[in-house]
Amino acid sequence: MNTTENPTRVALVTGGSGGIGTSIVERLAADGFAVAVHYAGRAAAAEAVVASAVAQGARAIAVQGDVADEHQMARVFDSVEAEFGGIDVVVNTAGIMINGPIATFDLADLDRMHRTNIRGAFVVSQLSANRLRSGGALINFSTSQTRGQLAGYGPYAASKAAVEGMTLVLARELRGKDITVNAVAPGPVATPLFLEGKSDELIEHFSKVVPLERLGQPDDVAEVVALLAGPGRWINGQTLFVNGGLA
């Protein structure tokens, strides 16, 4: 497809089949993007997100792949480019969180989490660096726990600190390409990933430690992503802590 015949900007959202990713897909669709909803194993959920975006009047497709597998993700990028003519924005929300104390943490769990969160982010960043169109944006996802020092979050925070590091370096490496590279670091957001395994008392605690005295909602994060994906072109090489004022 000739992009001069289709000026619509195109976004690929990894992990778009649930949680924050779904809200981002919906927001970008509302902003006029054509959207590719990436998923690993939740095909039905991804198709439901696609249907919702199409109902908003957007063009949308679902694409499947393991973010840590460079060959599968290259095919994902191929599919999006074949459908829409190119890619302008990649939002890399795909990730897993396994918590526990560092002293007793299962190294198999560490390897599994780091494969998705670090290698996966690296694969997606590498492909984005080579295939985003001029004027594009790569938005990776970190966590406010990289500076929160909360007990039990060490392994997860370590994986996301790596994401921040590679993101900020890549922004400098892409000098001259007119591609912005940033990381979004949410605080406590009411998603299944965050709420799973937590008691009502602990959830209430998290909501009260935030100066705004509530948990974040996926739409709160989607607003920031929409800024970085659209008009926020002067924001580059940054980690944005989206957490309601949490230290």
Between 107-114 and 154-173, two packed helices, what is the crossing angle to 10 degrees? Answer: 30
Which residue among the candidates 84, 122, 156, 194 is catalytic per the annotation? 156
Between 43-55 and 19-30, two packed helices, what is the crossing angle to 10 degrees? Answer: 20
Residue 156 falls in the annotated catalytic set? yes
3-state secondary structure 24-92: HHHHHHHCCCEEEEEECCCHHHHHHHHHHHHHCCCCEEEEECCCCCHHHHHHHHHHHHHHHCCCCEEEE
Q: Which residues are the active-site residues?
A: 156
